Structure 1
Amino acid sequence: MDTNRTSKPHVSLLGLGAMGTALAKTWLAAGHPVTVWNRTAARAEPLAAEGARIAATAAEAAAAGRLVVTCLLDDASVGEALAAADLAGKDLVDLTTGDPEQARAREAWAHARGARFLSGGIMATPPMIGVPDSGGYVFYSGSEEVLAEHRETLAVPAGTTYAGTDAGAAALYDVALLSAMNGMSAGITHAFALVREAEMPLKDFAVLLTDWLTAIAPAGHGTAEQLESGVHDTNVASNLAMQVTANATLLRTAGQQGVDPVLIAPYLDLMARHVAEGHGDEDGTGMVDMLRR
């Protein structure tokens, strides 16, 4: 028997997609006893060779230990998988992607079944799990006591960041960061479309692009400061009126290159609206509140 494995907290893990499998492998490699369940049983079989115990049902997996981690397809899958499980006295940590309201409802559902609840939002891809200094981490929200008790175990796959007592907070911050990523990806896609047939090798352009994005990323700190102060027209390096004038060049260039501006046009339109409402001497932070009207 592996005495190191039995000395560490047990993890019951439900869901063995790419992320769930990465989580299981990392806990097993760190010496944790792990019981796994997956709707498609064949996905669990390779983990048996690494020391995992395979449960025939989700209820059986949940019964194997106090810490129950779900990493399933969606919120509905969590309810379906655990419908027959006895969760009294369990600590349910839900790493399934969902929205804030689903997390709050799942917390109430868990409490009604006698379990403590912690919601998680994974800010990592499967290859980042278990890799030190990969930059991956997990937002957690809900029971601070659950996180405190299991933090060492939960920190094995990725770092832990507590987002607050509201069970929906982890999902909210997860979605906010993913939304920012999607916006950046839209800009990257548009940029490569513009230069697709240009003379410079794309790998050389990629260096310029990533360096530029890295240089302007700290602007996020200024956005937070201006939103907190409510003042948007101080220390403005490039006001919106000037930017909107320059945006015409962005759109003309896209037309000349045969590139559809569909990825950037909505943001350019929002900038123009803000200027039309009398905010041309500001930068773009005031548009945050336009979106919340």
Structure 2
Amino acid sequence: MSGANRTPSSGPGRPVAAVLGTGTMGEAMARNIAAAGLGLRMWNRNRAAAEPLVGAGAAVCDTPTEACRGADVVLTALANEQVVADVMDQARDGLGSHPVWVQTCTVSPDGGRRLAEQAARLNVAYVEAPLLGTKEPAVAGTLTVLAATPQQEAREEVRPVLEAMGSRTVWLGEVGQPSSLKLAYNAWVLTTVEGIAESLTLAATLGLDPHLVIDVIDVSGLNSQYVQSKGPKMIDDDLDTPSFPLEAAAKDARLVTDTARAAGLHLGIAEVVRERLRLAADDGLGRADVAATYRMSRQAAS
């Protein structure tokens, strides 16, 4: 294990956190946890992706079990529910000190409840904690955390970690509700991205400079930071460095529509967005930013 002797000891208000997964979000959150003076242990399936965290004071471990040994809080920042469940099963033998598990992956409400049941089997407290925000707020430590736990005492235990990751934690009444709110939020995000893409494509097809669309939105009641961020990137085709990878957006779109269908609801716009993102992923854009859906709109217009 590289850097194992660099993990600070836990103490009052200073828990040791094990972060499992160092993707776009996991690495940024881990750096902020370390910057807050908390102990940090790391695992990633591709160890090389976690090695840069050694410089931030992390102990980079070879297995989930090793990373979780001695941790007060285990934070999963992984791709989907199945991966989260598999990794936590792998970590089972490292959970002897009964840490609190903070699960940040976007899953369905039923998925959140299934993971809570797994936590009970593992004899660890569980905090469902999906995140509002992409790479930039993750780096800045300004994420919004949507949280719920069956063990109310876990709130205080995870507070230093959540405060290091984000600027606001919204506590909800029961497990499943944070995931429901996250999916409702993401339905709006994905609809907004597709709406921007189509508006810019329409303007260009009609012979207008698409920058004009961004300009008139900027002085309207419908303006948002998201429009002003994603719109220019679409126009400039600056889409290959993701803040929210398109493949993750496609996964979330499936969760939104599948969850709605299971509740007896047909979401017309979300269903269209799901298909557009699927086509974009199939076209090789999965590792680009979600705003790369604009490329699909332009292809359809050509």
* Alignment TM-score, normalising by the size of structure 1: 0.67
2:179 aligned with 1:208: no
- Pairing partner for 2:197 from 181, 189, 194: 189
Is the alpha carbon distance of 1:175 and 1:211 closer, same or farther for their aligned partners in structure 2, counting shifts above 3 Å?
A: farther
Q: How does 1:199-278 map to 2 (within 5 A)?
A: 200-212=208-220, 214=222
In structure 2, the residue matched to 1:98 is 107
Query: How far did residue 38 of structure 1 move?
Result: 0.7
Query: How far did residue 199 of structure 1 move?
Result: 5.5
Is the alpha carbon distance of 1:3 and 1:67 closer, same or farther for their aligned partners in structure 2, counting shifts above 3 Å?
A: closer
> Which consecutive residues of structure 1, in runs of 5 or more, have no partner in the other structure?
217-261, 267-293
> Which consecutive residues of structure 2, in runs of 5 or more, have no partner in the other structure?
225-267, 273-302
Q: State the distance in 1 between where 2:162 and 2:30 align.
A: 11
**Bigger Cα Rg:** 1
Aligned residue type for 1:137: T
The C-alpha deviation readout for 1:64-122, integer Å capped at 9, x for no partner, is: 21211111111111221121424352211111221110110110111122111001111
SS in 2 for 1:212: coil
In structure 2, the residue matched to 1:138 is 145
Query: How far did residue 4 of structure 1 move?
Result: 8.2
Q: Do 2:199 and 2:213's aligned partners in 1 also have CA atoms closer than 8 Å?
A: no
Q: How does 1:56-71 map to 2 (within 5 A)?
A: 56-71=62-77
Q: Do 2:130 and 2:146's aligned partners in 1 also have CA atoms closer than 8 Å?
A: yes
Q: State the distance in 2 between where 1:44 and 1:80 align.
A: 19
Q: Do 1:163 and 1:169's aligned partners in 2 also have CA atoms closer than 8 Å?
A: no
Is the alpha carbon distance of 1:177 and 1:213 closer, same or farther for their aligned partners in structure 2, counting shifts above 3 Å?
A: farther
Aligned residue type for 1:32: L
The C-alpha deviation readout for 1:228-253, integer Å capped at 9, x for no partner, is: xxxxxxxxxxxxxxxxxxxxxxxxxx
SS in 2 for 1:16: coil
Is the alpha carbon distance of 1:27 and 1:188 closer, same or farther for their aligned partners in structure 2, counting shifts above 3 Å?
A: same
For this pair of structures, how many residues does the alignment match? Answer: 220
In structure 1, the residue matched to 2:41 is 35
Is the alpha carbon distance of 1:2 and 1:105 closer, same or farther for their aligned partners in structure 2, counting shifts above 3 Å?
A: closer
In structure 1, the residue matched to 2:122 is 113
Q: How does 1:67-86 map to 2 (within 5 A)?
A: 67-84=73-90, 85-86=92-93
Q: State the distance in 2 between where 1:160 and 1:60 align.
A: 31
SS in 2 for 1:49: helix
Q: Do 1:37 and 1:44's aligned partners in 2 also have CA atoms closer than 8 Å?
A: yes
* Alignment TM-score, normalising by the size of structure 2: 0.65
Query: How far did residue 27 of structure 1 move?
Result: 1.1
Q: State the distance in 2 between where 1:70 and 1:125 align.
A: 16
In structure 2, the residue matched to 1:255 is none
Q: Percent identity?
A: 22
Aligned residue type for 2:131: I
Q: Do 1:14 and 1:58's aligned partners in 2 also have CA atoms closer than 8 Å?
A: yes
Q: Do 1:18 and 1:126's aligned partners in 2 also have CA atoms closer than 8 Å?
A: yes
Query: How far did residue 30 of structure 1 move?
Result: 2.0
Query: How far did residue 35 of structure 1 move?
Result: 0.2
Q: Do 1:15 and 1:37's aligned partners in 2 also have CA atoms closer than 8 Å?
A: yes
In structure 1, the residue matched to 2:293 is none
**RCO higher in structure (CA 8 A, sep ≥6):** 2
- Pairing partner for 1:172 from 163, 168, 180: 180
Q: State the distance in 1 between where 2:271 and 2:139 align.
A: 39
The C-alpha deviation readout for 1:174-213, integer Å capped at 9, x for no partner, is: 1100101222223222221221144553223202124435
In structure 1, the residue matched to 2:135 is 126
Q: State the distance in 2 between where 1:119 and 1:72 align.
A: 13
Q: Do 1:186 and 1:263's aligned partners in 2 also have CA atoms closer than 8 Å?
A: no
Q: State the distance in 1 between where 2:88 and 2:195 align.
A: 41
Q: Bigger CA drift: 196-205 or 176-185? A: 196-205
In structure 2, the residue matched to 1:22 is 28
> How much is the aligned-residue C-alpha RMSD, in angstroms?
2.9
Aligned residue type for 1:94: Q
In structure 1, the residue matched to 2:232 is none
